[in-house]
């Protein structure tokens, strides 16, 4: 009975917090109407979505992609080219970018997922440079190094220019979070996590590991591509170094690691902390590379102090406190039930 | 029609013929054993028939169709399941989550199914109850004792509803009480229709549990028959004692 009511309180707190956060997120552009703060808001929500997208693959399967900037860039270029060269409706092209990048990721994944561990990381890294060269070289389509300028969104005041993009990124974030949550509860998600643990064993249990990995990879890339599409329409300008930059992919990883790759909200939390922090440093110290140095130090600190990331660390600390207060460590529980289990045979 | 058979199955590693021209048959509904000295190719044989490694030559037939050359997950979906000599579990996942990994049928609906709260979880709980691990459902699998890990490995395999189960040393490194439990479970599952093929070094267990024994030496099947026949076969004694 007691534990039942405790569970109910827990659920109430959980859903209450979530509801509060959603309301805050929806009200943000009007709570902080300052254009600079709105800009930071868009950047933050963008990276929250990107880091969660990256984690859909890496957090579940353990396959770390350093090349998600490539998907971000392809999504951005697809959208930019469709708008500039073919005069297509912008937000429809943003959605189409997701499909296009998904198809692109099928090909890339089919090749890259033949490798594991460090080799996979290197292959995805190489992809970014290949795409960079392609975007620079294919002038007729991409505009080469001089880039592409997009028409700005019409019928909206300068003051409110960030608002539609804020909500576009917010929708992306919601969709990615929901997808990740759904997968986490499904048989498919169990298979993905099993791949992280022991890929060959998973296969022996009927898990089609190649297909599972490819689906997760394509979803992760597709969402990242949509992010790129929104980004290019928001910035109205794109050039190769802007999007095919390792930094964007590294940021996603850093944020996910900070918040915790083994949790649903971890990557988003990481972005929520890091993006405003970085923007503040850029604002205060401008052209210095201080924010890059601090980002590097932070990465080191995470690996040393919080290898699991914030949310899983808090969770396990809470679990320790809980078991300490109820007078039984999990190890003790295990030995005890071990005897119970083995005693049955006697 | 033979239920499960291999025909001239061979595999070499460098110059070593780990499995050499192995023709083996087992019958449906029986518990068969695969025995032989260390390094006689038993585990390699299991790896070959489950697609974990590819054969240099030979055939694997299950219920009349060839399963040689299939990928491991395809073999599993055909109904041939296996456990591993050194128990392999998803150590970070909980006991219950371990039960939810195996796939029975491949399909979009199956994969999107709610694993945590749905019918799959209910089915998993029945199996956990049966092997006495219900209380440990929320523990990471790494926290289980070795014997419990063996039980969990077998229980999770049963979630995929295999018809033929290959067990690689189910009694290895396990205390006598747990051996009794595991063998009792195997006998129960067998009476419910599951066919077993077991690699095992514990001879009393093999003699007690199995209907049929195949003996490997240096990758070659040298004898087969009932436990009584095998016990007295001079070739088998030679293989174990002669070196």
Residue A319 falls within a domain, yes or no? Answer: no
pLDDT band at residue A346 using 50, 70 and 90 as cut-offs: very low
Write down the pLDDT at residue A293: 85
**Rounded-to-5 percentages of helix, strand, coil across chain A:** 80, 0, 20
The answer on pLDDT for A284 being more than 50 is: yes
Q: Which of B90, B93, B120, B147 has the most A C-beta neighbours within 10 Å, making it the best mutation to test the interface with A?
A: B90
Each residue's pLDDT tens digit, A50-102? 999 999 999 999 999 999 999 999 999 999 999 988 888 888 999 999 999 99
Give the SS3 label for residue B119.
helix
B101 touches chain A (CB under 8 A): yes
Count chain A–chain B contacts defined by CB atoms under 8 A.
128
Write down the pLDDT at residue A327: 53
Write down the pLDDT at residue A328: 47
Task: Specify the length of chain B in residues.
Answer: 243
CB atoms within 10 A of CB A99: 13
Chain B residue with CA closest to A332: the answer is B143
A339 touches chain B (CB under 8 A): no
B207 touches chain A (CB under 8 A): no
Residues 6+ apart with CB under 8 A from A118: none
How high does pLDDT run on average in chain A? 87
Average pLDDT over residues A319-333: 62
What is d(CA B196, CA B163) in angstroms, rounded to the nearest whole number? 9
Where is pLDDT greater, at A161 or A323?
A161
Residue A138 falls within a domain, yes or no? Answer: yes
DSSP letters for A134-202: HHHH-HHHH-GGG-EEPPPPSS--STTTTHHHHHHHHHHHHHHHHHHHHHHHBHHHHHHHHHHH-HHHH
pLDDT band at residue A329 using 50, 70 and 90 as cut-offs: very low
Answer whether B93's CB lies under 8 Å from A183's CB: no
CA torsion sign for B31, B36, B37, B43 is: negative
DSSP B94: B
Do B136 and A337 count as a contact with CB atoms less than 8 A apart? yes
Write down the pLDDT at residue B60: 94
CB atoms within 10 A of CB B7: 17
**Rounded-to-5 percentages of helix, strand, coil across chain B:** 40, 25, 35
Write down the pLDDT at residue B242: 66
Residue A342 falls within a domain, yes or no? Answer: no
Residue A72 falls within a domain, yes or no? Answer: yes
Residue A240 falls within a domain, yes or no? Answer: yes
Write down the pLDDT at residue A337: 41
What is d(CA A38, CA A3) in angstroms, rounded to the nearest whole number? 43
* Cα–chain center distance at A65: 11
Each residue's pLDDT tens digit, A8-59? 888 888 899 999 999 999 989 888 888 889 999 999 999 999 999 999 999 9
B144 touches chain A (CB under 8 A): yes
The answer on pLDDT for A130 being more than 70 is: yes
Write down the pLDDT at residue B215: 92
Q: Number of C-alpha atoms within 13 angstroms, CB side, residue A290?
A: 12
Q: Number of C-alpha atoms within 13 angstroms, CB side, residue B203?
A: 10
Residues 6+ apart with CB under 8 A from A281: A290, A291, A294
Predicted TM-score (pTM) of the model is 0.88
A117 touches chain B (CB under 8 A): no
Per the structure, the count of domains in chain A is 1
Write down the pLDDT at residue B109: 74
Average pLDDT over residues B149-160: 94
The answer on pLDDT for A333 being more than 60 is: no
The answer on pLDDT for A168 being more than 80 is: yes
**Nearest-CA distance from A194 to chain B in Å?**
6
Write down the pLDDT at residue A2: 55
Strands B4-13 and B16-26: antiparallel
The answer on pLDDT for A312 being more than 50 is: yes
Contacts of A187 in chain B (CB under 8 A): 100, 103, 110-113, 115, 120
What separation in angstroms does the CA of B166 have from each of A97, A245, A270, B85, B224?
A: 47, 50, 45, 11, 17
Write down the pLDDT at residue A326: 65
Q: Token pair 């949790």 is at which residue?
A: A263
Residue A298 falls within a domain, yes or no? Answer: no
Q: Quote the domain boundaries for residue A111.
A: 29-152+159-245
Write down the pLDDT at residue A295: 79
- Name which of A48, A61, A75, A79 is nearest A195 in CA terms: A61
Angle at B77 between CA B156 and CA B181, to 5 degrees: 30
In this prediction, what percent of chain B has a pLDDT beyond 70? 99
ipTM for the complex?
A: 0.90
What contacts 24+ positions apart, CB below 8 Å, involve B135-138?
B135/A337, B135/A340, B136/A334, B136/A337, B136/A341, B136/B95, B137/B94, B137/B95, B137/B96, B138/B94, B138/B95, B138/B96
Do A201 and B84 count as a contact with CB atoms less than 8 A apart? yes
Residues 6+ apart with CB under 8 A from A21: none
Q: What is the largest CA-CA distance in chain A?
A: 80
**Token pair of A82 as six digits:** 């469709």
Residue A67 falls within a domain, yes or no? Answer: yes
DSSP A64: -
Average pLDDT over residues B82-88: 89
pLDDT band at residue B130 using 50, 70 and 90 as cut-offs: very high
Write down the pLDDT at residue B212: 93
Residue A235 falls within a domain, yes or no? Answer: yes
Do B104 and A202 count as a contact with CB atoms less than 8 A apart? no
């Amino acid at each position: 009975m007691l534990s039942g009511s405790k569970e109910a309180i827990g659920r109430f707190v959980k859903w209450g917090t979530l509801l509060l956060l959603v309301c805050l997120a929806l009200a943000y552009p009007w709570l902080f109407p300052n254009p600079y703060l709105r800009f930071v808001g868009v950047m933050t929500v963008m990276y929250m979505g990107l880091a969660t997208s990256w984690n859909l693959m890496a957090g579940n399967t353990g396959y770390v992609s350093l090349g998600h900037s490539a998907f971000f860039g392809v999504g951005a270029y697809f959208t930019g080219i469709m708008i500039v060269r073919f005069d297509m409706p912008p937000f429809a092209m943003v959605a189409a970018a997701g499909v296009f990048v998904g198809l692109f990721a099928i090909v890339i994944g089919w090749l890259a997922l033949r490798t594991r561990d460090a080799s996979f990381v290197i292959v995805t890294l190489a992809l970014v440079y290949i795409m960079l060269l392609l975007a620079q070289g294919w002038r007729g389509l991409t505009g080469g190094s001089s880039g592409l300028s997009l028409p700005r969104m019409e019928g909206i005041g300068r003051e409110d220019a960030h608002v539609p993009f804020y909500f576009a990124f917010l929708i992306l974030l919601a969709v990615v979070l929901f997808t990740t949550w759904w997968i986490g509860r499904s048989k498919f998600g169990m298979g993905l996590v099993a791949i992280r643990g022991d890929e060959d064993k998973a296969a022996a249990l009927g898990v089609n590991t190649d297909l599972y990995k490819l689906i997760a990879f394509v979803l992760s890339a597709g969402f990242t591509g949509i992010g790129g599409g929104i980004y290019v329409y928001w910035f109205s300008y794109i050039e190769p170094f802007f999007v095919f930059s390792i930094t964007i992919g590294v940021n996603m990883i850093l944020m996910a690691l900070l918040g915790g790759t083994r949790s649903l909200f971890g990557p988003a939390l990481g972005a929520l902390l890091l993006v405003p922090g970085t923007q503040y440093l850029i604002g205060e110290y401008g052209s210095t590379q201080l924010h890059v140095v601090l980002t590097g130090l932070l990465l080191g600190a995470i690996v040393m102090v919080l290898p699991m990331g914030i949310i899983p660390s808090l969770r396990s600390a809470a679990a320790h406190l809980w078991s300490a207060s109820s007078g039984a460590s999990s190890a003790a529980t295990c030995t005890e039930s071990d005897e119970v289990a083995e005693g049955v045979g006697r | 029609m033979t239920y499960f058979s291999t025909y001239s199955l061979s595999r070499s590693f460098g110059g070593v013929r780990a499995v050499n021209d192995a023709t083996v048959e087992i019958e449906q509904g029986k518990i068969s054993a695969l025995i032989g000295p260390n390094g006689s190719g038993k585990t390699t044989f299991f790896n070959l028939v489950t697609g974990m490694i590819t054969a240099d030559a030979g055939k694997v037939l299950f219920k009349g169709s060839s399963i040689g050359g299939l990928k491991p997950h395809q073999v599993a979906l055909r109904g041939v399941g296996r456990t591993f000599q050194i128990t392999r579990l998803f150590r970070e996942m909980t006991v219950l989550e371990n039960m939810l990994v195996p796939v029975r049928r491949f399909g979009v609906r199956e994969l999107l199914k709610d694993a945590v709260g749905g019918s799959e979880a209910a089915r998993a709980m029945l199996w956990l109850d049966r092997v006495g691990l219900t209380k440990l459902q929320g523990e990471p699998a790494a926290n289980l004792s070795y014997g419990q890990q063996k039980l969990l490995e077998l229980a999770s395999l049963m979630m995929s509803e295999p018809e033929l189960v290959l067990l690689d040393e189910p009694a290895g490194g396990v205390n006598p009480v747990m051996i009794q439990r595991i063998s009792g479970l195997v006998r129960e599952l067998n009476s419910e229709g599951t066919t077993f093929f077991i690699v095992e070094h514990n001879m009393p267990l093999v003699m007690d549990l199995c209907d049929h024994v195949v003996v490997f030496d240096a990758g070659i099947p040298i004898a087969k028959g009932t436990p009584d026949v095998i016990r007295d076969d001079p070739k088998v004694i030679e293989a174990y004692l002669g070196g």
